[in-house]
Amino acid sequence: MAIHEIQSMLKDYFDVLQTQDLNKFDQVFHSGSVLYSAQNAELIVRPFAEYRAMVQGRKSPQEGGFPRLDEVLMIDLMSPEMAIVKVRLRLFDSIMVDYLNLMKVNGRWTIFAKLFHKAGVAVD
* Domains: count for the chain: 1
Cα separation of 105 and 110, whole Å? 7
pTM of the model: 0.94
Cα separation of 37 and 23, whole Å? 25
CATH at 34: 3.10.450.50
Residue 110, domain extent: 2-121
H or E segment and range at residue 124: none
Full pLDDT tens readout for the chain, 124 residues: 899 999 999 999 999 999 999 999 999 999 999 999 998 889 999 999 999 999 999 999 999 999 999 999 999 999 999 999 999 999 999 999 999 999 999 999 999 999 999 999 988 7
